Amino acid sequence: MRLHEEDGQALVLALGFLIFVGLVVGAMLTLAYANELSTQRLGDQRNTVYAADGATDAAIQLGLVDATVGRYGDGRCQATLPSSALPPTPILLTTTSNNTAANVVCTWSSDALNVDRSVTFTTFVASQPTPVVQAAVIYHFHLSGPMTVEVTSWTYCTHGPSC
């Protein structure tokens, strides 16, 4: 083998190495971008859940202060559970927390003769067409003492059973 046939081999090797390193760095950058996206989505999901939780809690408390919320035939609520299509109307309550707006719709008690109110609150977050949280509560009326509320279920609609 003659040595002058190896002319430029080092350059070829260096270029090959350069391409390899370029691919490795590209893969690392892709991974970093995926991490960044994942972190951002995690934060968005947290804001959505806490905004929906907060709005639902606010609606439950409103039902204690305003004893007409969810009463049989209440015009601010619906007779049946809302469908997933937006906009659900009428909206009982709207709040903003974590820079996320949440809307709560309710279903009124089906038993007109019962002094206790069984109300379901379904919370939508502005950016999502499907409900996020659904809570079923019973407001207990007491002849002596203030009204109390019993939360019978609290469902995260995107995890487990649908709402």
Question: Residues interacting with another protein, by CB under 8 A?
Answer: 3-4, 7-11, 13-15, 17-18, 21, 24-25, 28-29, 31-32, 35-36, 38-39, 42-43, 46-47, 50, 53-55, 57-58, 60-62, 64-66, 68-69, 75-76, 90-95, 97-98, 103, 146, 148-149
Residue 87: CB minimum distance to another protein, A = 11
Residue 84: CB minimum distance to another protein, A = 19
The region, left, alpha or beta by phi > 0 then psi within -120 to 50, assigned to residue 110 is: alpha
Side chain identity at residue 131, one-letter code: P
CA atoms within 13 A on the CB side of 148: 6
Contact 100, 46 (CB under 8 A): no
Among residues 136 and 149, whose Cβ is nearest to another protein? Answer: 149
Among residues 141 and 162, whose Cβ is nearest to another protein? Answer: 141
Residue 110: CB minimum distance to another protein, A = 20
Which value, in Å, is the radius of gyration of the alpha carbons in the chain? 28
Euclidean distance between CA atoms 144 and 126, whole angstroms: 40
